Amino acid sequence: MADMVETTASGERSATAQSIRIGFLLAGLAALAVAPLFLYPVFLMKLLCFALFACAFNLLIGYTGLLSFGHAAFFGGAAYFTAHAVKEWHLTPELGILVGVLGAALLGLVIGFFAIRRQGIYFAMITLALAQMFYFFCLQAEFTKGEDGIQGVPRGHFLGLLDLSTSTNMYYFTLAVFLVGLLVIWRFVNSPFGMILKSIRENEQRAVSLGYSVQYYKLGAFVMSAALAGLAGGTKALVFQFATLTDVTWQMSGEVILMTLLGGIGTLIGPVFGAGLVVTLQHYLATSDFPVTIVTGVVFMACVLLFRRGLVGEFYASRLGRRLGFAYRR
């Protein structure tokens, strides 16, 4: 995608922008720490799960330039794996989530293996088609319980010690998962591996000519993104204590694209904002009879037509953003 925002690892870093970032980070952490006192914890946990999902998706589109239209397979798939592991195998929550992450990574390896054979628009269509195939698998498979989904998943005790059945404990557990996920993403995009991914996004031919096996790097990024989407999906299954078909539909894949696009593709924090906005919007529309789909669709079109950089990206690129020293790239 041509005009994206570059925030991390740009050549020059402004001190003002950096201190704003740190201040913002601290304020954000403080807000998240006290948020359950003011807001409904389940809503917050949902928000965190989707924010992590969007960040995982952004790892692929923002830093490798690959638009996956099938990320629901990893998110919803991991929800099924975790729910099954915890309910049927009686694993502890952390091991259950690990099962979800590994399952999603494996699924990512398979889908990625086929999808990276084509680029751009074809890549999007292939991921969409393969994710739809996974949807049909989930519809028919025994362990997913078909239309009912896996219900009554126990949250269990974290490390056998901390009881997660209370929403406060579960909230801080989810927050910890979210922060760990974000840290992994941050570390990943700033690693040498992440740098090579960016070079592939910028100019694939040149990356090839420099001797990098572009396909391996793409597949690596795809698996990483799938695994992190799985982390979000597995956690969501514990939060809501069920896993259903909703999370593996193409609509869900579209939703995560919207979150990322709305917040800002290629910005580290944008998807968090995007997810926050979309989840909040859905939360309020759920009580009215006005369908969410229409709003989602209109916001989608508006984003593509009017602000392709997303909210955070547009801020970085605005006059104020530039004056404060946020780097951006056309």
Partner 1 sequence: MTTIFGIPLAAFLGQLLIGLINGSFYAMLSLGLAVIFGLLRVINFAHGAQYMLGAFVALLLLQYLGVDYWLALAIAPLVVGLFGALVERTMLSRLYDLDPLYGLLFTFGLALTIEGTFRYLYGAAGQPYSVPPALSGGTNLGFMFLPNYRGWVVAVSLVTCLGTWLLIEKTKLGAYLRAATENTVLVQAFGINVPLLLTLTYGFGAALAAFAGVLAAPIYQVSPLMGTNLIIVVFAVVVVGGMGSILGAIVTGYMLGIAEGLTKVFYPEASNIVIFVIMAIVLLLRPAGLFGKDA
Nearest distance, CB of residue 155 and partner 1, angstroms: 33
Rounded CA Rg of the chain: 19
Both structure tokens of 262: 């709305």
Residue ranges in 103-132 that form contacts with partner 1 under rule CB under 8 A? 114, 117-118, 120-122, 124-126, 128-130, 132
Interaction of residue 311 with partner 1, rule CB under 8 A: no
CA-closest candidate to residue 105, choices 226, 221, 190:
226
Return the half-sphere exposure (C-beta side, CA atoms, 13 A cut-off) of residue 72: 28
What DSSP string describes 171-220?
A: HHHHHHHHHHHHHHHHHHHTSHHHHHHHHHHH-HHHHHHTT--HHHHHHH
Interaction of residue 300 with partner 1, rule CB under 8 A: yes
CA-closest candidate to residue 59, choices 267, 204, 329, 272:
267
Question: Pick from 240, 299, 322, 324: which binds partner 1 (CB under 8 A)?
Answer: 299
Interaction of residue 193 with partner 1, rule CB under 8 A: no
**What helix, strand, coil percent values describe the chain, rounded to 5?**
70, 0, 25
Q: How far apart are CA 260 and CA 263, in angstroms?
A: 5
Interaction of residue 329 with partner 1, rule CB under 8 A: no
Nearest distance, CB of residue 211 and partner 1, angstroms: 21
Interaction of residue 286 with partner 1, rule CB under 8 A: no
Both structure tokens of 45: 């946990």
Nearest distance, CB of residue 326 and partner 1, angstroms: 23
Question: Pick from 29, 180, 183, 294: which binds partner 1 (CB under 8 A)?
Answer: 294
Toward partner 1, which CB reaches closer, 200 or 239?
200
Nearest distance, CB of residue 323 and partner 1, angstroms: 27
Residue ranges in 12-71 that form contacts with partner 1 under rule CB under 8 A? 67
Nearest distance, CB of residue 65 and partner 1, angstroms: 9
Which DSSP symbol is given to 162? Answer: E
Toward partner 1, which CB reaches closer, 23 or 120?
120
Toward partner 1, which CB reaches closer, 118 or 329?
118
Asked if residue 312 lies in contact with residue 24, where contact means CB atoms within 8 angstroms, the answer is no
**For 241-309, where are the alpha helices, taking DSSP H only?**
250-263, 270-285, 292-306
- Residues at the interface with partner 1 (CB under 8 A): 1-3, 67, 114, 117-118, 120-122, 124-126, 128-130, 132-133, 136-137, 140, 250, 254, 257, 261, 290-301, 303-305, 308
